[in-house]
């Protein structure tokens, strides 16, 4: 019997970082978009991690009133790709993962329009910060889910992800993002349009 490649975690919020075991295993000989499933999975995971890392840099840049144009482009691009590439894994029906991916693309579309089409004019500056950081939160939410699925020490604390440690972890992430987004809105809203990014280029 051919080896099986386990792709999804709990089968609920597996769109994004660290897809793992669960609802729809794939044969190791299967391909996705012409790539071996394992290779496609690795690319998806790497894109997700780059999106989270660059997003955190952008978040703290916003708090400091910096646009960080290059890092922002990287964050938005990789975060869009995280959701898009997630749709090509095998699903049965409309799962929470698909819903989360769609929501992520919606807020990303708003952020991109506010940032590039509307040039952060007026209230769109605040809209951009909130929508972009909500997209980052979605990826971090999935990161926590998959960390509790993949890391044995965490999985022992919450094997079904219905135990208090998992709820506490997700609650802390949510509260942290609410606080950080408030600071980001205030910091970026008060920054002048000519704010210079950390790379030294005028924003």
Chunked mean pLDDT (size 10), the chain, 203 residues: 36 44 54 85 94 98 96 98 89 80 97 97 96 98 93 95 96 98 94 50 43
Range of the structural domain that residue 122 is part of: 4-22+33-190
> How do strand 26-27 and strand 31-32 relate by DSSP bridges?
unpaired
pLDDT (0 to 100) of residue 198: 41
Provide the pLDDT for residue 8: 39
User: According to the model, what pLDDT value does residue 29 have?
Assistant: 66
Q: Are 135 and 54 in contact (CB under 8 A)?
A: no
Residue 181 belongs to a domain: yes
Q: How far is Cα 175 from Cα 141, in angstroms, rounded to an integer?
A: 12
> How many domains does the structure of the chain reveal?
1
Query: What does pTM read for this prediction?
Result: 0.81
Flag whether 199 is in a domain: no
**Alpha-carbon separation of residue 200 from 37, 66, 69, 73, 195 (angstroms):** 41, 10, 11, 16, 10
Work out the number of other CB atoms within 10 angstroms of the CB of residue 85: 21
What is the C-alpha to C-alpha distance for residues 169 and 13, in angstroms, rounded to an integer?
15
Q: C-alpha angle with apex 24: 18 to 26, nearest 5 degrees?
A: 85
Q: Return the SS3 of 108.
A: helix
Assigned domain for 195 exists: no
- What are φ and ψ of residue 185, in 5° steps? -60, -45
Q: Is residue 131 part of a domain?
A: yes
The pLDDT value given to residue 104: 96
Does residue 203 belong to any structural domain of this protein? no
Tell whether 93 is covered by a domain.
yes
Three-state DSSP class for residue 50: helix
- For 150, residues 6+ apart whose C-beta sits below 8 A from its C-beta are 9, 18, 20
Burial 115-130 (b: 16+ CB within 10 A, else e): beeeebeeebbbbbbb
Residue 16, pLDDT score: 45
Residue 95 confidence (pLDDT): 79
Is the residue at 79 inside a domain?
yes
**Is residue 196 a part of any domain in this protein?**
no
């Amino acid at each position: 019997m051919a080896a099986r490649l386990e792709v999804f975690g709990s089968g609920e919020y597996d769109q994004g970082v660290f897809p793992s075991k669960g609802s729809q295993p794939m044969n190791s000989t299967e391909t996705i978009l012409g790539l071996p499933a394992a290779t496609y999975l690795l690319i998806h995971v790497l894109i997700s991690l780059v999106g989270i890392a660059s997003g955190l840099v952008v978040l703290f840049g916003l708090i400091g009133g910096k646009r960080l144009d290059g890092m922002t482009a990287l964050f938005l691009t990789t975060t869009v790709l995280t959701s898009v590439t997630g749709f090509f894994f095998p699903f049965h029906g409309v799962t929470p993962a698909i819903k989360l991916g769609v929501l992520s693309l919606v807020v990303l579309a708003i952020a991109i329009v506010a940032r590039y089409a509307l040039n952060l004019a007026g209230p769109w500056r605040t809209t951009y910060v909130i929508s972009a950081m909500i997209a980052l939160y979605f990826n971090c939410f999935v990161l926590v889910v998959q960390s509790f699925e993949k890391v044995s020490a965490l999985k022992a604390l919450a094997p079904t992800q219905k135990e208090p440690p998992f709820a506490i972890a997700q609650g802390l992430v949510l509260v942290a993002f609410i606080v950080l987004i408030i600071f980001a809105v205030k910091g970026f809203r008060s920054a002048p349009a000519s704010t210079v990014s950390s790379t030294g280029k005028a924003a």
